[in-house]
A and B are shown apart, each in its own frame.
Chain A
Amino acid sequence: MLEVRDLTAEFIREGEVLRVVQRIGFDIAAGEAVGFVGESGSGKSVTARAVMRLAPEGSSIRWGGRILFKGQDLLALSEREMTDVRGRRIAMVFQDPMASLNPVMTVGQQIDDMLMRHMSLSGAQARKRTVELLGLVGIRDPEHRADDYPHQFSGGMRQRVLIAIAVSCEPDLLIADEPTTALDVTVQAQILRLLMRLRRELGMALMLITHDFGVIAGMVERVYVMNNGEIVESGAIDTLFAAPKHPYTQALLAAVPRIGTRRSA
């Protein structure tokens, strides 16, 4: 479904060009869950944003290569055509849910908006669907909570709202960029379960970006490990965990704190 070939991303700052993604290629099949693991600066988030063609906040970026989504090159689309793809066909969930929500609109209005714009629903139809969606992501009493503002939700609940917005138009691909990094461990577990359930129920593909091998372990079928803008290793999740080949992957896996590792002295 998604074929990425020779993707490059270059930041342009005061005349200087900094290449942060170096001619990488990867695939995601329909309904497949794929993980991208790397440290900060590895280019994993920029890669995720490339698929949405979003430049990171306050920067100028130049993409190169091809991103074929169902045979259509996203990098060749006009900005207007891309707007139809974003949210409707490919949706994204970010690390900081508060920054991605509009603080002066109720969460219901924000989901209604998506549904009315992309799914051409009427106001009443949209609200009915909004309430369903909020229920789907595990928000109790969705009829009333729809009229609350983002600040009235806890961090975990906000991330649920964001996921509800992301899946509102039943996208073919959901990109989740560090969706649980800012959350508590128990909330993280709930959000991961929610993503698994939605993927199954809605049949969407999942692109999960994280620095944490623990998060990715139970969630995806295949992994790409990124370092310095390159994919250094890829493969089926079980194989990669059992026998990492690249020294970078080995170092990352070795550094993962394990609950069973007791103090050495």
Chain B
Amino acid sequence: MTAPLLQVRDLSVVFPPRRGRPPVRAVDRVSFDIEPGRTVGLVGESGSGKTTTGRAILQLQPITGGSVSLLGRELTTMSRADVRAMRRHMQFVLQNPYSSLHPRMRVADILAEPLKVHRSVAKAEIPDRVAELMRLVNMDPAVVKRYPHEFSGGQRQRIVIARALAVNPDFVVCDEPVSALDVRTQKQIVDLLHDLQTKLKLSYLFIAHDLAIVRAVAHRVAVMYGGRIVELGDADDVYENPVHPYTKNLLEAVPIPDPARQRAKLAAATPDPNFRGRDGETGKCVFGHDHSADHSPEWHEVGPNHAVSCKFWPPGVTPLRS
């Protein structure tokens, strides 16, 4: 097994109390690795903490605890100048291609900005590199004098991706990169990300709420709920043999593009499971282990490279022993 490119350990982000509301544990002791050239899909619903996790890894969000190391270098204790220099290796593709490009900068300037910041190519070579980046994302280099509003959503997202790749990063956080796009455009962007990964040996953290898309891109999947990872495993294991009831619930809710099956599914009665039920409980967990006694992590192997949390199980639900 190769050494991980990115190692996240017990990452926590607590939002301070505001207007009388209690502090929020947005990210709670999240740990996972990403190997070189691999994709980890991070799925969850809004408020699950998945976007905050991505921003915290990129040091765009102050963290409360834990560690993030990229290429063996610890990011959380680095000076701000060093983190800026490390941004050469880690980049960000934001969700909304309409708002993540400066509306008054030409595409050429948008793509040149990271090159200038990191002085990655000589000044005279910048136009060549910009053209190369446009070709990399399958766009015509002739249009670089245009402004973002002159492009469609899919084209803008290509520009966003080109900007992220400008400095030859090793790792890219893609935060819902296709959820603002039409289905056909989604597929094109997903295919593009796939090709770029093969070509450039990129690692992705692919954050999305759409489980079907994550299935198509991820090698491993982490399911987040309430700021925690509740299930983590190879994509096939998590999708075909989900263990945590929240994962099952999430997979169950995905609409199937098949009228007969989808009709049957909508007609079936649904329980409204309460995943908060067991939170903070003491004594034996659903796996029959007393974590408060030996301070072991609330984390249980259910298969090779596949583990689930014993938190957030609805009352009365237990893991089936096989």
A residues whose Cβ falls under 8 Å from a Cβ of B: 39-40, 155, 184-190, 192-193, 196, 211-215, 217-219, 237-238, 241, 251-253, 255-265
Do the beta carbons of B256 and A188 come within 8 Å of each other?
Answer: no
Do the beta carbons of A193 and B270 come within 8 Å of each other?
Answer: yes
Other than the known A39-B183, A217-B263, what 19 A-B pairs have Cβ atoms closer than 8 Å?
A39-B184, A40-B153, A184-B46, A193-B270, A211-B182, A211-B183, A212-B255, A214-B212, A214-B255, A217-B258, A218-B255, A252-B184, A255-B184, A257-B216, A259-B215, A261-B216, A262-B236, A263-B219, A264-B216
Give the residues from 244 to 281 in chain B that come closer than 8 angstroms, CB to CB, to chain A. 249-267, 270
Whole-angstrom CA separation of A241 from B263 in the bound complex: 13
Do the beta carbons of B256 and A259 come within 8 Å of each other?
Answer: yes
Q: How many residues of B contact A (CB 8 A)?
A: 46
Do the beta carbons of B194 and A192 come within 8 Å of each other?
Answer: no
Do the beta carbons of B249 and A241 come within 8 Å of each other?
Answer: no
Do the beta carbons of A185 and B266 come within 8 Å of each other?
Answer: no
Residues of B within 8 A of A184 (CB): 45-46, 209
Do the beta carbons of A185 and B211 come within 8 Å of each other?
Answer: yes
Do the beta carbons of A263 and B266 come within 8 Å of each other?
Answer: no
* The residue from B46, B235, B270 contacting A155, defined by CB atoms under 8 A apart: B46
Do the beta carbons of B182 and A214 come within 8 Å of each other?
Answer: no
Do the beta carbons of B46 and A263 come within 8 Å of each other?
Answer: no
* The residue from A186, A258, A260 contacting B253, defined by CB atoms under 8 A apart: A186
Do the beta carbons of A215 and B183 come within 8 Å of each other?
Answer: no
Closest partner residue, chain A, to B218 (CB atom): A263
Residues of A within 8 A of B190 (CB): 257
* The residue from A186, A217, A265 contacting B250, defined by CB atoms under 8 A apart: A186
Do the beta carbons of B184 and A214 come within 8 Å of each other?
Answer: no
Closest partner residue, chain A, to B45 (CB atom): A184
Residues of A within 8 A of B218 (CB): 263
Tell me, rounded to whole Å, the shortest Cβ–Cβ distance linking A186 to chain B. 4
B213 within 8 A of A: yes
B residues whose Cβ falls under 8 Å from a Cβ of A: 39, 45-46, 153, 182-187, 190, 194, 198, 209-213, 215-219, 235-236, 239, 249-267, 270
Tell me, rounded to whole Å, the shortest Cβ–Cβ distance linking A237 to chain B. 5
* The residue from B249, B257, B263, B266 contacting A256, defined by CB atoms under 8 A apart: B257
Do the beta carbons of B182 and A262 come within 8 Å of each other?
Answer: no
Task: Tell me whether chain B's interface is mostly helix, strand or loop, or mixed.
Answer: helix
* The residue from B185, B211, B263 contacting A218, defined by CB atoms under 8 A apart: B263
Whole-angstrom CA separation of A15 from B254 in the bound complex: 45
Selected A-B contacts with CB under 8 Å, 24 pairs = A39-B183, A40-B182, A184-B45, A184-B209, A185-B209, A185-B210, A185-B253, A189-B252, A189-B253, A189-B255, A189-B266, A193-B270, A213-B183, A214-B256, A214-B257, A218-B262, A218-B264, A257-B215, A258-B257, A259-B239, A260-B239, A262-B235, A263-B218, A264-B194
Q: For the complex of A and B, list the 9 residue pairs with the smallest distance between their C-beta atoms, beginning with the closest.
A: A218-B262, A214-B255, A257-B212, A217-B262, A184-B45, A39-B182, A189-B253, A218-B263, A186-B253
Do the beta carbons of B266 and A192 come within 8 Å of each other?
Answer: yes
* The residue from B187, B251, B264 contacting A255, defined by CB atoms under 8 A apart: B187
Residues of B within 8 A of A238 (CB): 259-260
Tell me, rounded to whole Å, the shortest Cβ–Cβ distance linking B273 to chain A. 10
Whole-angstrom CA separation of A238 from B267 in the bound complex: 17
Residues of A within 8 A of B252 (CB): 189
Tell me, rounded to whole Å, the shortest Cβ–Cβ distance linking B88 to chain A. 27
Whole-angstrom CA separation of A110 from B257 in the bound complex: 36
* The residue from B45, B235, B259, B263 contacting A185, defined by CB atoms under 8 A apart: B45
Q: A155-B46, A258-B212 are in contact. Are A188 and B255 (CB under 8 A)?
A: yes
* The residue from B45, B184, B215 contacting A261, defined by CB atoms under 8 A apart: B215
Do the beta carbons of A252 and B183 come within 8 Å of each other?
Answer: yes
Whole-angstrom CA separation of A265 from B219 in the bound complex: 9
Do the beta carbons of B216 and A217 come within 8 Å of each other?
Answer: no
Tell me, rounded to whole Å, the shortest Cβ–Cβ distance linking B198 to chain A. 7
Do the beta carbons of A263 and B215 come within 8 Å of each other?
Answer: yes
Residues of A within 8 A of B255 (CB): 188-189, 192, 212, 214-215, 217-218
Whole-angstrom CA separation of A190 from B253 in the bound complex: 9
Residues of B within 8 A of A190 (CB): 270
Whole-angstrom CA separation of A264 from B193 in the bound complex: 13
Whole-angstrom CA separation of A256 from B258 in the bound complex: 11
Residues of A within 8 A of B258 (CB): 217, 241
